[in-house]
Amino acid sequence: MSSGLSGYLVLAGVTAAGVLLFVAAMFARRLLAPRAPSQAKASTYESGVDPVAGGWAQTHVRYMTFAFLYLVFAVDSVFLFPWALVLRNKSINHASLLEMGIFAAVILVGLAHAARRGLLRWTLDN
Amino acid sequence: MSTFGEVVLRSLCVLIAFLVLPLLVGQTEHKLMAHMQGRLGPMYAGGFHGWAQLVADGVKFTQKEDIVPLAADKPVFRLAPALGIVSYLLALAVIPFGPHLVAAGITGSLLWVLAVGAIGTVGTLMAGWSSGNKYALIGGLRSAAQLVSYEVPLILAAASFAMAAGSFSLVSIAHAWTPWWLLWQLPGAIVFLVAGTAELQRPPFDMPVADSELVMGPWTEYTGLRFALFLLAEYAGIVVVSLVLAVLYLGGWTGPFDHQIGPFWVLLKGFFFAVIILWMRMSWPRLREDQLQRVAWLGLVPLALLQIVLTAAGVVLTT
């Protein structure tokens, strides 16, 4: 990319191409696909029986623990990325290595705690 | 050439690559699976070894009726397939096929790939949530849990490559590559490959779309072309993960005669990883939801952190 053209301009063009692709596909579908709507067809699929109650059902809370764990490590990686670029800087490289090690170790202790208390295990047998 | 013309030309090249490469991966999957599992596979469409099967599939999908369920959140339901398409298209645009052969040259291209790759995830969640269907909802929740969990090792492994090269540009990372990386960055490459496969919800990490219990997970209510677009996005995802890994871990265009056939090396190395991703599907059974999460948190995350320690020590000791 030596022409001076900004890469982001191309990315805007690619975004437009993607939107156009979707619109063109939907247009082709409108031209080619049959349309015969009926009440039964538009009902929710539940393996052939009439749907019971609504679709937004209650579900298990244990998925939330993964969200918490993710949040911790996502913040960890936010700090990791800028560090990746300054690691070669001679004035801070040894000190930053130690500091980053301590930081990552603290987070790992959290993960080990979550695993030890059984958050990552849903059954007793595995 | 005018700026506008160049932007259009480059966008068109990305679009063509986006429409052709996933078909090649799909065809490879048909043939490999047929041979590995000792069955015939599609052999009729187009004559020679069923080469036109995927084109025929596409035509079939456009001819199916588009059904939006009454219970669905309609605008979100209709829009969801577009997100996967646009996100992988944008990721494909920054992958370098040579030192100067890249559609959109930006400095933080590795960060860009990670960022737009995550937008496709939102499409899956939108599909799962907006369908108003219990299978789709449970599938969507499993997707959400799986995608955030495997995002962590994926980002950590990518950070390791960036540290080793001292840059977030895919071009600079490929320039900094030496054969020594094959050993030094091996754990990171394994983590990236496994986490990338899981991000695509490919088997053995296909718990969210487990067809024997959830019909088709978040995509249960989709028909016709909208459903086909989700599939296209999945195969485009394989292309993106394979090519990015080829650039990060195998040095991209580096190889014999790379001044003449650099792009060929990128495609060949990417194809190698794509075949591994397909091979995993053909060989292993599906992981249960909590086993799948344990692989991410107790297997891949510690391994990725170990890789970061290795990389950091290597960089600090050699500079």
pLDDT tens figures, B45-72: 888 888 888 888 888 888 888 888 888 8
pLDDT digits (tens, 9 = 90+) for B66-114: 888 888 888 999 889 999 899 999 999 899 988 888 888 888 889 899 8
Test A16 with B11 for CB contact under 8 angstroms: yes
Test B64 with A42 for CB contact under 8 angstroms: no
d(CA B134, CA B124): 15
The structure tokens 């909590």 sit at B290
Q: Is the dihedral of CA B271, B272, B275, B276 positive or negative?
A: negative
d(CA B247, CA B173): 8
Chain A residues whose beta carbon lies within 8 Å of the beta carbon of residue B236? none
d(CA A61, CA A55): 17
Token pair of B163 as six digits: 């540290």
Which amino acid makes up residue A6?
Answer: S
- A121 CA to chain B: closest CA distance, Å? 6
Interface membership of B15 toward A (CB under 8 Å)? yes
Chain-centroid distance of CA B180 in Å reads 26
Of B65, B152, B312, the CB nearest to A87: B312
Test B166 with A84 for CB contact under 8 angstroms: yes
d(CA A65, CA A70): 8
Count Cβ neighbours within 10 Å for each residue of B20-54 and write b for 16 or more, e otherwise. ebbbebbbebbbbebeeeeeeebeebeeebbbbbb
Token pair of B3 as six digits: 């700026």
pTM, two decimal places: 0.89
pLDDT in tens, chain A (126 residues): 444 567 888 888 889 999 999 999 888 888 888 888 888 788 888 777 777 776 666 667 777 888 888 888 887 788 888 888 888 877 777 888 888 888 888 888 888 888 888 777 777 664
The predicted model gives B294-302 an average pLDDT of 88
Of B100, B305, B316, the CB nearest to A97: B316
Residue B194, pLDDT score: 93
φ and ψ at residue A34, rounded to 5 degrees? -70, 160
Token pair of B36 as six digits: 């590995």
- B190 CA to chain A: closest CA distance, Å? 19
ipTM of the complex: 0.82
Chain-centroid distance of CA A124 in Å reads 29
Of A37, A73, A94, the CB nearest to B301: A73
Test B7 with A66 for CB contact under 8 angstroms: no
Interface membership of B67 toward A (CB under 8 Å)? yes
Q: A50: burial class by Cβ within 10 Å (0-12, 13-18, 19+)?
A: exposed
pLDDT range class, residue B43, cuts 50, 70, 90: confident
Test A74 with B151 for CB contact under 8 angstroms: yes
* A30-to-A19, B56, B70, B190, B231 alpha-carbon distances in Å: 17, 18, 19, 44, 20
Of B6, B14, B229, the CB nearest to A25: B229
In sequence order, the 6+-apart residues with CB closer than 8 A to the CB of B99 are B171, B175, B253, B262
- B38 CA to chain A: closest CA distance, Å? 32
